[in-house]
Structure 1
Amino acid sequence: MNQKIDLPEEDDFRPSAARLVESLRDTGYTKEAAFADIIDNSIAANATKVEVELQYLMGEFRVIITDNGDGMSQQQLKSAMRYGSPRRTNPKSLGKFGMGLKTASTAFCRRLVVLTHQDGRNEGRAWDIDKIITSDRWELETPDSSLYCDDYDALTDFKEPNGTMIIWENIDRLVKMGSDKQMREEIKSLGKELSTELSAVFFKFLNSGDVTISMKVVDAPVFNLKGWDPLCSELNNSTKGVRSRVLREKTVPIEVANKILSFTVKGAIIPSQNELDFSERDYARYSLDNQGLYIYREGRLIWHDGWPHRMYKKESKITRLRVELNFSHELDDVFNIDFRKSRVIIPIEIRDELKRLISPWRQELLKDQVRLISASTNRVHGPADKAIDKHKKSTKNSDIKVEGDIVTIRNQNQMEPTVIEGIRVYDDRTVRVHEEESLIGGDLWEPSCDEEGNTCVTLGKSHPYFHKMYNVCKDNVEAMKALDMLLWSLSNAEHGEFSETNQHTLKGFRQKVSQTLRYLSIELPDAEED
């Protein structure tokens, strides 16, 4: 594989290995996508069992992903370690681009070791970025088996005749370095994030029983992931009569290379939070970010980031609407799948058809939300609206202008107008305190404004403090007004202190306060049922 080829210097246009190997680390992988890509390869190798271990021993952090798949011969292993390895024979394969194993791994580690066992024989190879840089050559290393005897034993003990183990060493981008205690906490946090994401990405595989994915994080016991269905169909088995209303699946035909193929679309309107208990709310994963489209390729979730570009914006009013799109490998080129399998580009004609199908579901939910907000928000927060508006000249500390979709702000810290990204703008100029089902990050409140540039506050109803505090105050109009004025004042202060340099600090402050109140709200009485 590393045979030296002598070429005249003027004809040798091979890229510098030292330069290229560092560049290939920056292909845009998220940590969740990188782990999913490795598991894709395991599933493509017919694995029925995959274990992800976040190992921390003697101050060294390693990632170990083991499967009971087909394993590899020496030649197969060399081929798999090649950047741009040969295309798999099965077009449905999740690991189909020949790049994921290498680029996903080295995006976060400087040394990738692959150990494999097939037909009673062990093989191992490694890419070491620092050694490649030193030699400026693609020198595939055969690791010393004596240094990996424990890993080979663990692979053998995986209770299957064949299998493969991926090891990330010299990890420099996955967690922040710190003390031993800090490292353990960082790794535990990483394990929680990964289990949440992987349970969604491989939901259909996990729920079918075709694949078991387990995790071991530091010293904690091994646990199996449970698939997470964004449509929350599992709630339909509840003995409490709670129902996630699954909307009828529709088949959409599409012509590709003179062939009529198709993909399917189905949706669900998940129950409102007050219909669910704590564990059910946790399962439903309520948040602004979890609304929208979930796109699956051959059963594997490849995209879920709200609504695709130029379809809809994320709106709290439609937080409960989730839509599932399923397509086969035959439509890979139509949806422009990249090698990270984390990006899709939906052609305009398909996007228009999706909007036509989804629009009735969306409009139904919007009508319900408009009715609920008009029936409750104005009545509950009306006294605060009037009190705040009465003193708006005295309390004004920023100049906000709304021009179409662009909102700019000036204040004592920001003398030149600067754009406020992602701020909510309300039509009603008489309302200062608004409610939304949930806010990004699960915050209790966030600053907003109306079309005239008046500061407003938006409250996140999903925050436990919202329910409990307003329940305590519900029979006391003055207490309710005082609470509204306090939260509005926090928003007004944030607008008064906002600048391009400190906006993230202000947001962090708000998130910390909301997080603290989430814990403290446990000490308040539960909201009574109406």
Structure 2
Amino acid sequence: MSQKTEIQEDDFRPSAARLVESLRDTGYSREAAFADIIDNSIAANATKISIELQYMFGEFRVIMTDNGDGMSEDELRNAMRYGSEKRANPKSLGKFGMGLKTASTAFCRRLVVLTQKAGIQSGRAWDIDRIIKTDRWELETPSSDDYYDYFEDLSEFTGDGGTMIIWENTDRLINQGSERQVREQIKNLGNELKAELSSVFFKYLASGEVSISLKVAGASAEDLKGWDPLCADLVTVDGVRSRVLKEKTVPVEFAGKSATFSVRGSVIPSQNDLNSEEREFVRYSLDNQGFYIYREGRLIWHDGWPHRMYKKESKITRLRAELHFDHELDDVFSIDFRKSRVIIPVEIREELKRLVAPWRQELLKGQDRLISANTKRVHGPADRSIDKHKKYTKNSDINVDGDTVTIRNQNQPKPIVIEGIKVYQDKTVRVHEEDSLLGDDLWEPSCDEEGNTCVTLGKSHPYFHKMYNVCKDNVEAMKALDMLLWSLANAEHGEYSEANRHTLKGYRQKVSQTLRYLSIELPDAEEYE
């Protein structure tokens, strides 16, 4: 006999205890969380913002203070509500009603907001542990005595307006450890925030609209200076400048309306034209090429090239592009409440590729010729040398049967299948090239149809281009590099087992990642012309 379950249809409120923990995992990075709080300050017309990473009596707190408009009691209660009322100004950076709460509790278990308006002070707090204990959305009013010093600091900072955000019980910003370890983590956090916020709010800082200071525990406060990814005003000690490319305006039609966004580019100077301080200033790195996307003057995305546009390549490390749009295009670019995601529609992506293509081709010009000329079968000497000693270097048995490749060695007496390994027909070649490898690795083990170990090199890896151009006129050096990478592949086959295959893969990825950064110190291909 079936039993009917009675459903209460008049109350579908979610469990506060469960939901408040879930809302901590909305995907904020540390830097994005800080930036979201600053967005709110700017939206409140703040011109001065202070960030303090405080470490006292073994407790780490974050305190962010602004001299903005401040809030009345009613405004504060609304601001503390998840999904607070929409701001009247559509340009507002803090426009989604979630940032203050989700950005804060992503990294702390207690959020305290102190504010004052027209000389009247107010305070409210969300305490996650209390919400879990009571399973109720109980908004606290913190004791004015407990926060007396903080209210005093707020008044001194702002006069009769302004707001102070305090993150207490910060369980996700730094890890537990000794006093020295904690202070070192706080110092590192400060450096990361300095780098990120100086770029996110570059346009505000550069214009003088806003000043942001950062005080790290044990150090003096430091005013942030805006960092322009295009380095448009850079002039090196030798008089070399970045080449700023012409700005272009792109019209967009959507939902019966029309708007525009702008794109401009820059080619920063070559490494050889920069000293160590200048390289640090321009943040010369493979990871810093590509698009920097701004919404209403606020950087919201900078992760190379948008999806399905281009991949990161050492040959275009010097190319950077700025895309700027205003609030009217929020829906077109699918901006989320973290303001860290951008989805570019296909037609806009194609237009961006058309605009950037001439800039990109200019950098690529000549380099492909150099690379292909220098590496086309220059691997021949290594192929012959490796084959000559295969009797002594063989350390695994590889069997190729159609699409199935098995391996056994001293660690793996019973043959197991190697998934995803490349198999080549040409039995005379030991060193192969592919445009790119999974994860943008520099190399990976492969084999031929006879089961001989081969190595496959990823041409998209910056170290590939640079090492072969450094050695392009030295056959023995080229052979030595090929031998080294083949030996790494051969060693992986010799150590491969079901138990350690993931460890070996991780090792290869870590080496490739390290070489990606170290390759910055090698000259670009174009610098040999």
Q: TM-score, normalised by structure 1?
A: 0.81
Distance in 2, matches of 1:379 and 1:209, equals 57
**Structure 1 residue 57 and structure 2 residue 56: aligned?**
yes
1:259 offset after TM fit, Å?
Answer: 2.8
Deviations 1:103-137 (A, max 9, x none): 11011111000111222222111000111111111
Q: Are positions 1:321 and 2:319 aligned together?
A: yes
Instruction: Give the corresponding residue for 1:338.
Output: 336
Task: Output the TM-score relative to the length of structure 2.
Answer: 0.81
The whole-number CA distance in structure 1 between the counterparts of 2:481 and 2:318 is 28
Distance in 2 separating the partners of 1:35 and 1:263: 27
Maintained 8 Å contact 1:494/1:506: no
Q: Deviation at 1:154?
A: 2.0
- Describe the shift of the 1:247–1:22 C-alpha distance in structure 2 as closer, same or farther (beyond 3 A): same
Q: Give the count of matched residue pairs.
A: 497
Looking at structure 2, the residues matched to 333 and 495 of structure 1 have their Cα atoms a distance apart, in angstroms, of 50
Q: CA RMSD in A?
A: 4.1
Does 1:298 pair with 2:296? yes
Q: Hey, what does 1:275 align to over in structure 2? A: 273
C-alpha spacing 1:353/1:399, structure 2 compared with 1 (3 Å): farther
Do residues 312 (structure 1) and 310 (structure 2) align? Answer: yes
Equivalent position of 2:358 in the other structure: 360
Change (3 A) 1:387 1:102: same
Label 1:450 to 1:516 Cα distance change in 2 as closer, same or farther (>3 A). closer
Shift of the alpha carbon at 1:492? Answer: 4.7
Q: Secondary structure at the match of 2:157?
A: coil
Shift of 1:417: 3.3
Counterparts in 2 of 1:190 and 1:390: CA distance versus 1, 3 Å = farther
Query: Residue 450 and residue 209 in structure 1: after superposition, are their counterparts in 2 closer, same or farther (change >3 A)?
Result: farther
Q: Is the 8 A contact 1:446 1:491 kept in 2?
A: no
Q: Does 1:168 align with 2:167?
A: yes
Q: Which residue is equivalent to 2:198?
A: 199
Distance 1:230 1:247 in 2: 13
Give CA-to-partner distance per residue, 1:304-350, whole Å, 9 cap, x none: 11222222222222222221111010111111111111111111111
Match of 2:454? 454
Report deviation, 1:298. Answer: 0.4
Gaps of 5+ in 2: 1-6, 522-527
**Structure 1 equivalent of residue 104 of structure 2:** 105
Going from structure 1 to structure 2, the CA distance change for 1:205 and 1:396 (only over 3 Å counts) comes to farther
> Structure 2 vs 1, CA of residues 291 and 503 (structure 1 numbering), >3 Å: closer, same or farther?
farther
In structure 2, the residue matched to 1:255 is 253
Do the aligned residues in 1 keep the contact of 2:314 with 2:461 (CA within 8 Å)?
A: no
SS in 2 for 1:154: helix
**SS across alignment from 1:33:** helix
Tell me the distance in 2 between the aligned counterparts of 1:123 and 1:270: 49
- CA 147–384 in structure 1, closer or farther in 2 if over 3 Å, else same: farther
Shift of 1:476: 8.7
Measured after TM superposition, the shift of residue 277 of structure 1 is 0.8
Contact in 2 for aligned 1:433/1:488 (Cα 8 Å):
no
1:506 and 2:469 aligned: no
Matches within 5 A, 1:351-430: 351-374=349-372, 387-388=385-386, 391=389, 394=393, 415-419=416-420
Q: Given residue 293 of structure 1, which amino acid in structure 2 is its aligned partner?
A: F
Within 5 Å, give how 1:511-530 maps onto structure 2. none
- Residue 229 of structure 2 is aligned to residue 219 of structure 1: no
CA distance in 2 between partners of 1:229 and 1:268 (Å): 11
The letter for the 2-side match of 1:99 is M
What residue ranges of structure 1 are gaps of 5+ in the alignment?
Answer: 1-7, 522-528
Alignment partners' CA distance in 2, 1:409 and 1:214: 59
Judge conservation of contact 1:79–1:86 (CA < 8 Å) in 2. Answer: yes
Note if contact 2:374-2:472 (Cα within 8 Å) is conserved in structure 1. no
In 2 relative to 1, CA 387–196 (structure 1 residues): closer, same or farther, beyond 3 Å?
Answer: farther
Tell me if structure 2 keeps the 8 A contact 1:267–1:321. Answer: yes
- Do the aligned partners of 1:385 and 1:433 also contact (CA within 8 Å) in 2? no
Partner Cα separation in structure 2 for residue 517 and residue 353 of structure 1: 34
Max Rg structure: 2
Aligned to 1:3: none
**Distance in 2 between residues matched to 1:312 and 1:396, nearest whole Å:** 39
State the AA in 1 paired with 2:205: L
**Which residue in 2 is equivalent to 1:43?**
42
Q: Residue 285 and residue 380 in structure 1: after superposition, are their counterparts in 2 closer, same or farther (change >3 A)?
A: farther
CA gap of 1:383–1:67, structure 2 versus 1, over 3 A, is farther
Q: State how far apart, in whole Å, the 2-side matches of 1:410 and 1:103 are.
A: 50
Is 1:151 paired with 2:178?
no
Shift of 1:367: 2.2
Please give the alpha-carbon distance, in whole angstroms, between the structure 2 residues aligned to 1:274 and 1:380.
27
Residue 23 of structure 2 corresponds to: 24
Structure 1 390/356 Cα, relative in aligned 2: closer, same or farther at 3 Å?
farther
| Cα deviation, residue 512, structure 1 | 9.9
Cα 1:335–1:514 change in 2 (3 A) is: closer
1:146 alignment partner, SS class: coil
What amino acid maps onto 2:507 in structure 1?
L
How far residue 144 of structure 1 moved from its aligned partner, in angstroms, is: 1.2
